[in-house]
Structure 1
């Protein structure tokens, strides 16, 4: 499980190493609402694909190693695991001049779009954290059968932002 202090340490490590990252998933929701609302088994990070070699080296130096047994894996995403069992779910983004970005979806050239307003900030333990916007989080929580964690996360966005979600 990931603790809030570990999230801030990893974000700081990558930021100090020159890597731009945005927190997504459950920790991204918690950053948006400004409080830890549930346990988290991993940390989703979107990153600037041009900085990926540096990002990987920084994480390897911190004890993480890439897992090659994750499906789907590259090019859409990859996972790095620490010996203590913590997983980082890493999503490479290619940025466009207008501030929007795309993430590869598969080997056929399909992409997940991120509009320029998909990137914002939140807080974890009082630290300002770059994260995905509430709108982008809602967008990514569509088109599949939600888990209890997904329902919890969307309830947090409704509670704090008063926005409509589909579940």
Structure 2
């Protein structure tokens, strides 16, 4: 396994453990979230991204800093926080639960992004032997499909197109084998 991947896995394990101890759910998304849903590491990843419900934003930042992470002032604080832990970058982005069952990021640049009901479930999946929460297949697919059409979106990259194909296949299969949680 590549050194960068090993470092990212250590951060995923530590963030997951710290947040779980604090009673703050944190869901992997992006490439690592997809790998968690697939149940194996599929490629090298540029970053590690977690979703945290906005009501936990301040406390999650404090808990992570208390566990040794350095919070960086690189993102609008109403949207996200980027961190370094053991020289490995990761981030927490914030979402809100809406009364209609949808999820959104109503503050900041991504206020037009909507995620379907079930995007943030409480059933962990396994990633390299570690139980983690990961955004649902339908949630990640909605993220990817909406992105180019958002006010601040941009065209899909090749890896986005590949991820969409994988996510559509997983959603079509409707697998519930512990790795794929289609909501």
Query: After the TM superposition, which residues 5-154 of structure 1 pair with which residues of structure 2 at under 5 Å, given as runs?
Result: 5-70=10-75, 73-82=76-85, 84=87, 86-96=88-98, 100-106=102-108, 110-120=111-121, 121-142=124-145, 143=148, 144-154=154-164
SS of the equivalent of 1:80 reads: strand
Equivalence for 2:178: none
Where do 4+ consecutive residues of structure 1 move more than 4 Å?
A: 158-163
Per-residue deviation, 1:34: 0.5
Alpha-carbon contact 1:67-1:78 (below 8 Å) kept: yes
RMSD: 2.6
Greater strand fraction, Structure 1 or Structure 2:
1
Q: Report the number of matched residues.
A: 159
Q: Which has the higher contact order (CA 8 A, sep 6+)?
A: 1
Unaligned residue ranges in structure 1 (runs of 5+): none
Unaligned residue ranges in structure 2 (runs of 5+): 149-153, 174-183
- The Cα offsets for residues 65-105 of structure 1, whole Å up to 9 and x where unpaired, read as 222234xx332222122351x22221112224565432135
